[in-house]
């Protein structure tokens, strides 16, 4: 809240001067509008939209998450009541929540592992001196620009028990599982669909990083008799470690926002196996109309994202070879 105030005053100040701004003149001995003052004004004006936006649509709602989590709102009856810590008691006692958090963790870890390793493999392949890598790069990147829900719907169609994937498997004589209805396969399906959709982004970032690794290092290592794997492990990985860290942060935080895929593919099922935190939040708030409890879950989600980011930035010191 204090921060909101700070920013609002800044915004006020930024808005006020133009009224007198018309009087600026360079004629006198000590003009009011010195370069520094003018710069200050322009600076505040330039950041004003972003700051006002942050105050209104980031900080204020964040404060409200806390406020609403102390209330219960009944949509049908139109009542809004203060309930104190009731929603937090519910959070601690919620038997589903453990399952939800375990599912969320599994999803995030699976996603990061699959995504980063596939991205790295693709980037290394595309970094070889081969003709036509640009063509393959285009193909691998193309799902990134396909509308998310369209992509998910196609996969939902492909993953039906009698859908395309099992059709292809059937041609090969394999009796495919019922992907979206099995406890294990549902989570796997959601992860793979999401990895294929977005791995192109990480691939491109890795590719750029790989191209920044000086070729002499490899040559020197080769003279020392280092094999391909050793070179990869000792030279490539350390040198692109800042990119690995960055992509892992983006991917982990992104994994906590995966909603549409779950809503379309599994609706959180079977059982609760693919009900990740954001989907559970949506269910509680917008399907069951426990808005207060939804806000409480939002607070939890925020704490998790904040903790993860802090941990990852801390890790940077430990294992990132050097900062670019």
Pick out residues in 47-66 that bind another protein (CB under 8 A).
47-54, 56-62, 64-65
Q: State which of residues 105, 113, 188, 196 lies at the interface with another protein (CB under 8 A).
A: 196
CB 256 within 8 A of CB 104: yes
Distance CA 45, CA 50 (A): 10
Q: Does 209 bind another protein (CB under 8 A)?
A: yes
R_g over Cα of the chain? 26
The answer to whether residue 151 forms part of the interface with another protein (CB under 8 A) is yes
Would you count residue 252 as binding another protein (CB under 8 A)? no
The answer to whether 209 and 243 have CB atoms below 8 angstroms apart is yes
CB-nearer residue toward another protein: 25 or 128: 128
Instruction: Specify the residue, 107 or 282, whose C-beta has the smaller distance to another protein.
Output: 282
Residues that contact another protein, how many (by CB under 8 A) = 133
Please tell me whether residue 311 binds another protein under the rule CB under 8 A: no
**Interface with another protein, residue 190, by CB under 8 A:** no
DSSP-derived secondary structure letter, 179? G
Pairing, β 79-82 against β 71-74: antiparallel
Between helices 86-93 and 291-319, what is the axis angle to 10°?
60
Candidates 48, 13, 42, 49; CA nearest to 33 is: 42
- Is residue 137 within the footprint of another protein (CB under 8 A)? yes
Show the site string, 93-122: x = touches another protein by CB under 8 A, - = not.
--x-------------------------xx
Q: For residue 154, state whether it binds another protein (rule: CB under 8 A).
A: yes
CA distance 11 to 271: 50
Residue 260, token pair as written in the block? 């549409």
Q: Is 201 in the site for another protein (CB under 8 A)?
A: yes
**Piece of 83-91, 108-116, 131-139 that binds another protein (CB under 8 A):** 131-139
* Residue 162 found at the interface with another protein (CB under 8 A): yes
Min dist CB 225 to another protein, Å, is 16
User: Which residues on adjacent β-strands are paired with residue 73?
Assistant: 80
Tell whether residue 194 is a contact of another protein (CB under 8 A): no
Residue 302 binds another protein, judged by CB under 8 A: yes
* Collapsed DSSP state (helix, strand, coil) of residue 72: strand
- How far is C-alpha 43 from the chain's CA centre? 30
Q: Which lies closer to another protein via its Cβ, residue 31 or residue 170?
A: 170
Phi/psi for 122 (5° steps) reads -65, -40
């Amino acid at each position: 809240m204090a921060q909101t105030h700070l920013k609002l005053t800044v915004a006020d100040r930024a808005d006020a001067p133009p009224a007198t701004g018309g009087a600026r003149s360079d004629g006198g001995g000590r003009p009011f509008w010195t370069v520094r003052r003018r710069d200050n004004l322009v600076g505040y004006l330039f950041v004003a939209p972003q700051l006002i936006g942050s105050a209104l649509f980031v900080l204020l709602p964040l404060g409200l998450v806390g406020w609403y989590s102390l209330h219960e709102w009944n949509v049908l009856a139109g009542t809004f009541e203060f309930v104190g810590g009731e929603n937090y008691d519910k959070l601690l006692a919620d038997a589903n929540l453990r399952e939800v958090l375990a599912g969320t963790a599994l999803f995030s870890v699976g996603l990061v592992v699959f995504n980063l390793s596939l991205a790295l493999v693709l980037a290394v392949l595309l970094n070889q001196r081969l003709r036509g890598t640009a063509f393959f790069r285009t193909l691998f990147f193309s799902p990134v620009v396909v509308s998310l829900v369209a992509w998910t719907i196609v996969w939902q169609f492909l993953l039906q028990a009698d859908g395309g994937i099992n059709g292809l498997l059937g041609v090969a004589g394999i009796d495919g599982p019922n992907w979206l209805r099995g406890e294990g396969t549902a989570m796997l399906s959601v992860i793979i669909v999401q990895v294929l959709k977005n791995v192109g982004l990480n691939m491109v970032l890795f590719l750029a990083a790989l191209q920044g690794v000086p070729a002499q290092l490899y040559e020197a290592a080769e003279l020392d008799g280092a094999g391909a794997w050793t070179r990869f492990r000792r030279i490539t990985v350390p040198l692109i470690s800042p990119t690995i860290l960055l992509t892992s942060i983006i991917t982990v935080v992104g994994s906590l926002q995966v909603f549409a895929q779950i809503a379309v593919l599994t609706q959180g099922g079977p059982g609760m196996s693919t009900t990740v935190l954001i989907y559970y939040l949506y269910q509680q708030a917008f399907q069951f109309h426990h808005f207060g409890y939804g806000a409480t879950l939002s607070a939890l989600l925020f704490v998790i994202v904040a903790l993860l980011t802090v941990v990852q930035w801390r890790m940077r010191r430990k294992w990132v070879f050097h900062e670019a």
